[in-house]
């Protein structure tokens, strides 16, 4: 059973490492702490409920923001929970796919397989772009829009943070 001291330690670790979300499952008890704005939000399911492993729910809504403009309000969610923002890049509008969760970025389903996408490749809306592993769960990140992959912003096997840019792409017109 968790006590108040353990919860305080979790909150201190979140502040210290600037984490947006933290989840812990131990002996049938599951705790998730997620920041909304500047205040952490605490959810603690009843210990009698079995913990169910599921893909994360969509986290935030979709917004277009131009680099140099005022900050956008809340970005919108895709089916996989990744967000896409439009940015101005050398007079070309690019969509940026960001990570919906903290985890490890993988370009391919396994080490012996080719990557899901490469720079220059034309993709369709709903196509899998990568996998982010979080707590032993493989979360497929899908394209919210079709287009051409302009840049891959993360190296294979690297840890990613919540809202970290993963890909930039030229949306189809």
5-39 pLDDT, tens digit each: 777 777 777 777 777 777 777 777 777 777 755 44
pLDDT of residue 21: 76
Task: Name the 3-class secondary structure at 7.
Answer: helix
Query: Is 91 part of a structural domain of the chain?
Result: yes
Is the domain of 164 the same as that of 114? Answer: yes
- Asked if residue 93 and residue 33 are part of one domain, the reply reads no
158: nearest Cα among 166, 168, 148, 147: 166
Q: What is the pLDDT of residue 138?
A: 92
The answer to whether residue 69 scores a pLDDT higher than 70 is no
Is residue 165 in a domain?
yes
Question: Which residue spans within the chain are E strands per DSSP?
Answer: 21-26, 29-36, 39-43, 83-89, 92-98, 103-106, 122-123, 128-134, 137-142, 147-152, 159-160, 165-171
Does 37 share its domain with 87? no
- Reference 132, options 169, 164, 167, 102; nearest CA is 102
Are 100 and 21 part of one and the same domain?
Answer: no
Model pTM score = 0.50
Does residue 76 register a pLDDT over 70? no
């Amino acid at each position: 059973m968790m006590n108040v001291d353990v919860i305080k330690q979790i909150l201190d670790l979140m502040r210290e490492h600037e984490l947006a979300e933290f989840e812990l499952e131990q002996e049938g008890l599951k705790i998730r702490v997620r920041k909304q704005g500047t205040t952490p939000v605490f959810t603690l399911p009843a210990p009698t409920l079995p913990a169910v492993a599921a893909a994360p729910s969509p986290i935030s809504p979709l917004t277009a923001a131009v680099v140099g403009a005022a900050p956008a309000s809340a970005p919108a969610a895709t089916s996989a929970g990744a967000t896409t923002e439009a940015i101005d890049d050398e007079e070309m509008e690019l969509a940026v796919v960001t990570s919906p969760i903290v985890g490890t970025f993988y370009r391919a389903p396994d080490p012996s397989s080719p990557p899901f996408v490469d720079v220059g490749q034309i993709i369709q809306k709903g196509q899998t772009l990568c996998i982010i592993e979080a707590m032993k769960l493989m979360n497929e990140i899908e394209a919210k829009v079709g287009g051409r992959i302009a840049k891959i912003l993360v190296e294979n096997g690297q840890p990613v943070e919540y809202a970290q840019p993963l890909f930039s792409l030229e949306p189809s017109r």
